[in-house]
A and B are shown apart, each in its own frame.
Chain A
Amino acid sequence: MGLLTNLKDSISRAASTLFSEEDPKRIGIYGPPNAGKTTLANRIARDWTGDAVGPESHVPHETRRARRKENVEIERDGKKVTIDIVDTPGVTTKVDYTEFLEHDMEKDDAVRRSREATEGVAEAMHWLREDVDGVIYVLDSATDPFTQVNTMLIGIIESQDLPVLILANKIDLEESSVQRIRNAYPQHETIPLSALEGDNMDEVYDKIAEYFG
């Protein structure tokens, strides 16, 4: 048993001792790039704390490092639920600077961006293992949800026994199909919403309170 392992063990022990009912749970917002994770994180933060988490962008990998908003108090039925929300970079198996070149970016910027994005994904995967207490998994309901990455991540989350809420985002789009997501992941409850338009946020907050409260 090495020192590093010992250290880690004692850290998680300390963490679980400190973790009481009132402590905010750390909720990771995961999902593929461009699903609307940052848009959702910002909406939650704005609705309940008044300020935003970070910039949203149609350019993939705008969020290259996880951002956290602490002590977001959500009130449901006179009950308060406090969470820390962690907006993560989109998880992918491939990062390629050439896709940024289409977005009017110089090569050196594009290369740096993909390097940072890759590092960000590495971090996000690492935290999934021990630093989050629950997951909001955001999918773009206008695209095919049945990808290897989604299946693998949801599988990892299940194996960790983390509470997970699947959000079918972008229901304002014509191509949106919530049912396609329900079919892909029938073992989980899927909540439709538009993070951009703010549609169905009440149900989202109900479920956040129910799952992570």
Chain B
Amino acid sequence: MPHQCTNCGRGFDDGSKEMLSGCPDCGGNKFQFQPEGVDATETPDAEPPEPPGPDSSVARTVGKTAASVRDFVSGSSSTDAPDSRSSGAPAGERPQSEPERPSSTTEDAAQASARGDVVEPDELPSAAPEPSDDEHQFRPVGADPDPPEEPERDDRPDLQELREELNDQFESIKVLEPGQYELNLMELYDREEYIIALQEDGRYSIQVPDPIQSE
């Protein structure tokens, strides 16, 4: 189960839409990316009633966005504004419990591990190319997903895989490497829910919409 409720630990399938309205069990609204085979605290018999197919709402949204981005970029009139209030919203009870702001638990874990991982400046991937104007060009989703060239790094082998999995699911933010992100603005704009907490190992938490925080 690649996703796990950070509150009760319930697992969800990849791309499961159940999460989008909060955890059906406990009402939690934070979920963590839990790669296959890693520390599975899942409930073994939790059958997701809605197994995601290739026709999941996420996939549809991505397709739609790609189209509107292409329209946009090519300058053709797109008077039909990106209206992807996706109708494929999840079935299942909206839990009554109050959504909490992103708690610091996940963040802390990431920060702690970041702190324990001090790197000398000369170990840094200075090979990263200077961003040129061209690289700021928006790359439409759904276009040839040529992965950006990454410098050879002494990474844990599954990290790359993890990132690709994340990227496949959430085209709105590409994690090139921890601390380096590419944002798909149109997709972020179009999303019903949004990623609330990125973590440096390619994990993330998502949260359903919440009003603007007051100072």
Contact = CB atoms under 8 A, between A and B. Distances in A.
B156 interface: no
Interface stretch (A75-83, A113-121, A184-192, A196-204): A113-121
Contact of A152 (B72, B126, B192, B213): B72
Given A4-B192, A101-B121, A86 B212 contact: yes
B213 A107 contact: no
Interface in B104-147: 110-111, 114-115, 117-119, 121, 124-126, 128, 131, 135-138
Interface in A1-53: 1-8, 26, 53
Contacts of A110: 179
Interface string B91-109: 1111000000000000000
Interface in B168-213: 172-173, 178-186, 188-200, 208-209, 211-213
Nearest to B186: A152
Given A108-B111, A148-B138, A159-B82, A118 B181 contact: yes
Nearest to A130: B209
Contact of B189 (A53, A96, A125): A125
Counting chain B residues whose Cβ lies within 8 A of the other chain, the interface size class is 35 or more
Given A108-B117, A122-B195, A148-B136, A156 B181 contact: no
Interface in A110-138: 110-112, 114-115, 118-119, 121-123, 125-129, 131
A106 interface: yes
A93 B178 contact: no
Q: Is the interface of A mostly helix, strand, loop or mixed?
A: helix
A93 B121 CA distance: 25
Given A125-B185, A159-B81, A3 B92 contact: yes
Contacts of A93: 136, 138, 182-185
B81 A4 contact: no
Contacts of A170: none
A1 B72 CA distance: 28
Nearest to A92: B183
Contacts of B198: 115, 118-119
Given A96-B131, A122-B183, 11 more contacts: A4-B193, A5-B86, A69-B215, A93-B138, A93-B182, A95-B180, A95-B181, A107-B124, A115-B181, A122-B195, A152-B138
19 contacts: A2-B87, A2-B89, A3-B91, A5-B87, A6-B89, A66-B212, A68-B215, A69-B215, A91-B185, A96-B131, A107-B118, A107-B121, A107-B124, A110-B179, A111-B114, A115-B178, A118-B183, A129-B189, A148-B137
Interface of B: 20-21, 72-73, 78-79, 81-82, 85-94, 110-111, 114-115, 117-119, 121, 124-126, 128, 131, 135-138, 172-173, 178-186, 188-200, 208-209, 211-215
